Chains A and B, each alone.
Chain A
Amino acid sequence: MSKLSEALASGKFTFTGEIGPPKGTNIAPALHEAEQFLKDCCVAVNVTDIQTAVMRMSSLSVCRMLVERGIEPVLQMVTRDRNRLALQSDLLGAAALGIENVLALTGDHIVMGDHQGSMPVYDLDSVGLLAAMTKLEKGTDLGKTIKGEPNVLDGVPKFFKGCVVTPCTEEVAPQILKLEKKVAAGAQFVQTQAVYDPAAFEAFMKRIRHIKVPILVGIVLLKHAGMAKYMNANVPGVIVPEPIIKRLAAADKKELRKVSVQIAGELIRDMKGLCHGAHIMPLGWDSEIPNVIAAAGA
């Protein structure tokens, strides 16, 4: 059984981390960081799936390498690159490889990445992918036999199904409607987009009180003030409040990492009472994850 699902069910505040596969075959650094810094303090580690549409090693293979190192992975799956045949096929493969946690995402559009002329697939959307997982768990799939009857699987997978939501988006009502659909389609946990405003997060959590699945608030480490400004200008649904930008800008260059960790820790501390865990996206600063958790007082 998924340790992530057990941890969330126990009611304990749960941490998940994240690594990105390499562009190339040199997997050693990512695995080293996961073993060194994430293994002990995170219940599970997300592995991104061709994030921002920049071609990289497959999430599935890196997830398996984590399993072999005693680290529980969360397989991120976007619907941008594979049709329903390939997605279901990889889901069965994931189950066979001992991967249970799957996070369903639509995926950044191909024009955001480094293969802009490639074909965007989106055969399923995130709701459709969750529905597909639920179907597979029931021993059938999205297809039909020649007679028009449901297919019967030889061996049935079991998943712990996750999805995402953007709490600080400018129009939150359509996000909530979609979250309701994701949960109806089978989502069992939620990891959010980065949140930097505890008050806005509290308001969001109030609005989704009727949705009974554990929520892990998203924390992205801010490496410097410029990154915060860039996110405000360019990343949809992410708002870094001015006081945080000022703190980063005022920080001594040598102290920047420490300040960044401090900010992340404080955010988690402020939002701990509102949700069930935190999903920390270190963007390369994996070694800081233990420090963030310590700063959060966990």
Chain B
Amino acid sequence: MIVTKMKTLKKIAKMLGGQQGVFIVCCGGCPDGFKSGGLGKGLELAAALGEKGVKATGVAEIEFLCNKALAGIKLGRHAGEFRAAGAVLVLSCGVGVQAVASMTDLPALPAMNTISMGDRQGLWPGAERCRQCGSCMLDRTGGICPITACSKSLVNGTCGGTKNGNCEVDSRRPCGWLLIYKRLEALGRTKELLRMNTPRDHRKYDFPEAKRRSVLYALEFAEQEEAAAAEAKSKGAGK
């Protein structure tokens, strides 16, 4: 679930820059599930903007704006509201805003900030964190991730900033490397910490192109590939 947070009314008004009519599009996916957005929040925003003299030409909820094919069809039913507006205000993550922007010539403005998931991907709340760094070293650290558990993401052990077992950066947060040490000590495996860990390869943070094609953008690429294949086939048949 992608985590979003409404921008302040002041920021939104400033972004609108004197625009008198605005169509509000609310993503019914993550922002609704996360209770940070959704139709209710869109209606509240319309009322608040109304008090500032900005008229909402409409408020629509579209399930999962990131599903561009369906979102396009559903948004098409709101042509009148689009025409009457000078801008579209989108309550969604950055993906949804970009999806809407690709479908209209009106400025598509983000009403929300997309904030970090805090290294949590699972839908069930838990203490484990993963930053998808692409260079997993959990084998060397007793199954506790130093990239997410250490404020500095150090790979070769503790810094000098442990106070009462906690991190100098946040006194409520345990020192990650101390947790790792304690775990390995309990397992009688502290010697493993003497292994030299080389700096991480930051290219691995990027989602690989091949995977991107096969998983995330499958829908978008499938059509292109089918079209290209059909074209190649017809050319071959023409010869």
Contact (Cβ within 8 A) A236 B163: yes
- Pairwise interchain contact A177-B194, C-beta atoms closer than 8 A: yes
Sorting the interface of chain A by its residue count into under 10, 10 to 19, 20 to 34 or 35 or more gives: 35 or more
B193: nearest chain-A partner, CB-CB: A177
Say yes or no for B114: interface residue by CB 8 A criterion. Answer: no
Residue numbers in B under 8 Å from A106 (CB-CB): 152, 154, 159-160
Q: Is the CB of B156 within 8 A of A178?
A: yes
CB-CB under 8 A for A112 and B168, given A84-B199, A125-B154, A142-B199: yes
Measured in the bound complex, the distance between the Cα atoms of B159 and A184 in whole Å is 17
Q: Does A111 contact B (CB under 8 A)?
A: yes
Contacts A128-B156, A174-B157: A109 and B169 contacting too (C-beta < 8 A)?
A: yes
Q: How many A-B residue pairs have CB under 8 A?
A: 94
Cα distance A178–B165 in the bound complex, in angstroms: 17
User: From residue B1, how far is it (CB to closest CB) to chain A in Å?
Assistant: 26
Compute how far the CA of A84 lies from the CA of B154 in the bound complex, rounded to whole angstroms.
Answer: 14
Interface size on B (CB < 8 Å)? Answer: 29
Q: A48 on the interface (CB 8 Å rule)?
A: no
B161: interface (CB < 8 Å): yes
Q: Any chain A CB within 8 A of the CB of B155?
A: yes
Q: Which residues of B contact A193 (CB under 8 A)?
A: 160
Query: Within 8 Å CB of A122, what residues of B?
Result: 152-154
Contacting residue for A120 out of B152, B157, B198, B199, CB 8 A? B152
A193, closest chain B residue (CB)? B160
Whether B194 and A237, one on each chain, are in contact in the complex, defined by CB atoms closer than 8 angstroms, is no
Residue pair B157, A171 in contact (C-beta under 8 Å): no
- Most chain A Cβ neighbours within 10 Å, of B165, B178, B199: B199
A148-156, A162-170, A260-268, A273-281: which lies at the interface: A162-170
B177 touches A174 (CB 8 A): yes
- As a 0/1 sequence over residues 118 to 137 of chain B, the CB contacts with chain A under 8 angstroms (1 = contact) are 00000000000000000000
Give bound CA distance, A122 to B157, whole Å.
13
Kindly identify which residue among B156, B160, B190 contacts A169, using a CB–CB cutoff of 8 Å.
B160
Provide the bound-state CA to CA distance between A181 and B157, in Å: 9
A120 to B152, CA, bound (A): 8
Max count, chain B CB within 10 A of own CB: residue among A122, A165, A235: A122
| Residue in A108, A124, A131, A174 whose beta carbon sits within 8 Å of that of B161 in the complex | A108
* B residues neighboring A (CB under 8 Å): 151-165, 168-169, 177-178, 181, 185, 190, 193-194, 196-199, 202
| New A-B contacts (14) at CB < 8 Å, excluding given A80-B152, A125-B155, A173-B190 | A106-B152, A109-B169, A124-B199, A125-B152, A125-B154, A128-B155, A173-B185, A174-B157, A177-B157, A177-B190, A235-B163, A236-B161, A237-B160, A237-B162
